[in-house]
Structure 1
Amino acid sequence: MKNKMENKRNDGCVCRKRGSAKLYLDFYYNKRRVVKTTGFDDTPENREQAQKILDGIIQKIAEGKFVFAKAFPGASEREKAYHAKFEGWTYRPEPSDITFETYVGEWKDTVWTSFRSETKKDDYEQALDDWLVPYFGDKTFEDLTGTELQIFIGQLRWRSGKNKGKPLSGSRVRNILIPLRAIWRSARSKYRWHHLEDPFEFVKDEKAVPRKKAKKPLVFRFHEWQNVLVHMDSFYRPMAEIMVMTGMIGSEMAGLRRQDIGDQSITVINSVVPRRKKKEKLEKEELKNDYRTGRCIPITSALRSRLDDVLARHDGDYVFTMKDGSRFCQNRFRQGAWETAFRRASMPQRHPYTTRHTFAAWSLTLRMDPGRLVKLMGHNTKKMIYEVYGDYVEGLEDDLMSILSYFGKDFVAQKRRELFALSLLDGESYGESQHVGLRNQS
């Protein structure tokens, strides 16, 4: 009696997969089992037709005339390359043979998994899932022309939030194009499509991506910063002050451990960043760049008092926590205590990253040696210091005395060019007395 699911022959069979109503060809070729759908529904007529196709394949295999890639153009590129090797030729598909989505699958299994940075993986995956595969998925690499890329860029819009329907910013567009360019170059290199015109050069020539407008980073004037602190939840106030006194960013704050705090300095080596596509946080002993990792920030008297406040609250390994006792989360801090303080103070909202810019600008106002500031900030050259923060020094001159009192005498290095600033300070440190006053406010 013939098996209901299979019509077997010695060299292969026509069968159905469990749970499928379609007929499949099942045979062995080049020491590997091959199972491919015919697309036919299981009817007697279709079984007969499928058997004829299988018989033809078996005959060509016996005669040495079978070409796998030609028989199954929809097979994976890896399968085609494997069988081509046994067939005595090198499989090199044309750009018109491979869809973007097909190559992305293989690229993620090989190149993407080799990325050391989990943040980079998340960024690439988000761009692929949200923007690139939905648009380019069924298009071949031959279709990925400069004109097509220009059309893609032109239709990019915010999908939610206050900017819904508006074009994405130039920087956001560039971030989406980074993985697209990486995948396009990977495919061109792998298949040696040297003749393929670079669509990104076309877009560059046509200036299709909105030019990024250089913006000077915002910096707090001293009275503005005091206004924010007065209106901030007292639980989070010392954390905000530590950020402005060290230049540390939210991910570094989240990763700071007790063991990283010594008698004389803080060693910044750890960070915790939220993963966009997953409900988890990634902890890593590497920062944004090698220059930021392992930098030492001297602990001044003013900084020590804030650290002691925070450390006295609990005995956990991580220095900073949320008010509910959970680990510090930069997004919750920004959306909660930080933005609330600005609303209460009737001030325009600013990002917590402003504290890092403020630390740099205030340090230059106090005539800190730029070489020292480069090390404290984790930059690799003085160029960033001069070009980004240099213009703020003149505007902050009126705040010099207040900044110096707030940071304390021991903040400024004992160098000849900085001695004049120390001579301005006399009596009790403003930072110490001010901190006590703010601590008593809710």
Structure 2
Amino acid sequence: MGSVNTRGGLIYLDFRYKGQRCREYTKLQDSTRNRSRAQKLLKVIEAEITIDKLDYGKYFPNSKLKAHFDNISENTRQSKAYFDAPDSPKFEEFTQTWLAEMKIEWSKGHYNDVEGVLNKYLLPTFGNKKISAINKGQILQFRSILAKVPGRTGGFLSPSRINHIMTPLRVLLNEAADRYDFTSPWKNIKALKIGRTEVDPFSLGEVEKVLKNVPEEFYAYYVTRFFTGMKTGEIDGLMWDCVDLVNKTITVSQSYVRGEVTGLKTTGSYRVIHLIDRIVDALKEHKRTAYMKDKFVFTNSKRKPLNYQVVSRSVWYPALVKAKLRPRNPYQTRHSFATLLLASGESPEWIANQMGHTTTTMLFRVYSRYVPNLTRRDGSAFAAFLSMGGEV
């Protein structure tokens, strides 16, 4: 039985909970009325202790014992979840089942990507654990360890990469919880915040320098990259039947990734790109010398689709050196296309469509800050608009 006592003119409760003696002070001054109130509170607390329903933090949110009892409750919950799912398999076993089920839905590239994350990061850590026994503390500890893993280009893994690694873990745990009827530990675990996408586009002058220094047989390839904004997989997977030189369009409907032609990631990525004459002229010249029995527009010396790693290493970076430009990855051709279109005053909605974005949100979030550096946008246009009384 607990008791109500006083010290220093304040009432405190003295009781035992989970084998621990608890002395919790109230803000009540010592008086007959307040003692009665404290007695009623103590009875409620003891009743909840009896039926194992006490939420310690509800009554004593600032108590030093709160964290201790919260930890006990979490361990109890995890133990209960473990034994409530006696048929749940080990993490590695469930992973193999899940991968087999997903293989029919995913592209080869995505499957290999997920499998790579599992083999490199998740299975070494969680493989031998019963999947229903993995708890929130272990998940957060794993994520903190990832933050200390060296990255490929120096430094440590980026928040974006860490989120990418954590995604299969989240999906696996939630799916297993649904199948084996236990509580998923993935509760209130938010993805790490990702900073603004860093892009380093080429100016128009720099684009011309690159095009002057790429090998002649790759001129049409890089003209198309710079002035269509196509992604590497999209241009490497481009086939002649998707190129209409009469109507000056390219239909983007597939991608070439890791040796396999696949569909595009999102519905918005399927699009028709309008070509400027410079691209049309370059593709006509390229077509004149290309092996027309090949389905792909751009091929290597063996008439096979381009390998982006080989092309980057043997063509792209040497061209930047010759042009005396700082190293930038080939994806900057896409960023350059977007910033040049914005600088030219094209409609943001049209630009987003050409890029394969369903809205202009990403366009403004990623690229708009480069526009003032490429155009004379200093507020003078707005001042002129006002001076004309709102007339354009």
Compared CA separation, residues 136 and 218, structure 1 to 2 (3 A) = same
Asked if 1:198 corresponds to 2:180, the answer is no
Displacement of 1:162: 4.8
2:76 maps to 1:94: no
Match of 1:241 among 215, 223, 240: 223
Residue 332 of structure 1: aligned partner: 310
What amino acid sits opposite 2:316 in the alignment? W
Provide the residue aligned with 1:287 in structure 2.
264
CA contact (8 A) 2:204 2:340 kept: no
C-alpha distance in 2, partners of 1:211/1:372?
30
- Structure 1 pair 130–200 and aligned structure 2 pair: CA distance change class (3 A): farther
Indicate the residue corresponding to 2:211 in structure 1.
229
Shift of 1:93: 6.1
How many pairs does the alignment contain?
Answer: 290
Structure 2: distance between partners of 1:317 and 1:103:
41
Match for 2:230: what amino acid? M
Match of 2:250 in 1: 266
Partner of residue 43, structure 1: none
Deviation at 1:244, TM superposition (A): 1.0
What residue number does 2:100 align with? 109
Q: How does 1:353-368 map to 2 (within 5 A)?
A: 353-368=331-346
Specify the code of the residue in structure 1 equivalent to 2:269. Answer: R
Shift of the alpha carbon at 1:324? Answer: 4.7
Could you say if the C-alpha distance between residues 331 and 396 of structure 1 is closer, same or farther in structure 2, counting changes exceeding 3 Å? same
3-state SS of the aligned residue for 2:167?
Answer: helix
Aligned to 2:172: 183
| Residue aligned with 2:267, SS | coil
Query: Is the contact made by 2:85 and 2:181 (CA closer than 8 Å) also made in structure 1?
Result: no
* Residue 236 (structure 1) shift: 1.4
| Contact 2:132-2:177 within 8 A present in 1 as well | no
- Decide whether the 8 Å contact of 1:266 with 1:296 is kept in 2: yes
User: Is 1:387 aligned to residue 365 of structure 2?
Assistant: yes
Q: Is the 8 A contact 2:225 2:333 kept in 1?
A: yes
Structure 2 SS opposite 1:236: helix
SS of equivalent residue, structure 2 residue 357: coil
Give ranges in structure 2 of 5+ residues lacking alignment: 1-82, 377-392
Whole-Å separation in 1 of the counterparts to 2:206 and 2:86 = 58
Tell me the equivalent position of 1:308.
Answer: 284
1:423 is matched with none
Give the corresponding residue for 1:347.
325
Offset from partner CA, 1:34-76 (integer Å, 9 cap, x none): xxxxxxxxxxxxxxxxxxxxxxxxxxxxxxxxxxxxxxxxxxx
Query: Scaled by the length of structure 2, what TM-score is found?
Result: 0.68
Which whole-Å deviations, capped at 9, do the CAs of 1:110-164 have from their partners, x for residues lacking one? 3x2342433332221111111111111111234422221222223335578553x
CA distance in 2 between counterparts of 1:333 and 1:200 reads: 44
Q: Are 1:139 and 2:129 an aligned pair?
A: yes
For 1:391 and 1:326, the matched residues in 2 are separated by 39
* Cα deviation code 1:173-212 (max 9, x no counterpart): 111111111110111000111xx352452x43xxxx7532
2:300 paired residue number: 322
Offset at 1:270?
2.1
Structure 2 vs 1, CA of residues 172 and 310 (structure 1 numbering), >3 Å: closer, same or farther?
Answer: same
Partner of 2:27: none
Structure 1 residue 95: deviation in Å?
Answer: 6.4
The root-mean-square deviation of aligned C-alpha atoms, in Å, is 2.5
Query: 1 CA distance for matches of 2:342 and 2:153?
Result: 36
Out of 112, 119, 125, the residue aligned to residue 115 of structure 2 is 125
Query: 8 Å contact 2:320–2:327 — kept in the other structure?
Result: yes
Question: Structure 1 pair 100/367, CA: closer, same or farther in 2 (3 Å)?
Answer: same
Contact kept? 1:169, 1:210, Cα under 8 Å: no
Report the identity percentage. 25
Q: Which amino acid aligns with 1:144?
A: I
Is the 8 Å Cα contact of residues 95 and 141 (structure 1) preserved in structure 2? Answer: no
Preserved contact between residue 253 and residue 328 of structure 1 (Cα < 8 Å): no
Classify 1:389/1:147 alpha carbon distance in 2 versus 1 (closer, same or farther; 3 Å). same
Three-state SS of the structure 2 residue aligned to 1:368 is: coil
Specify the SS of the correspondent of 2:269: coil
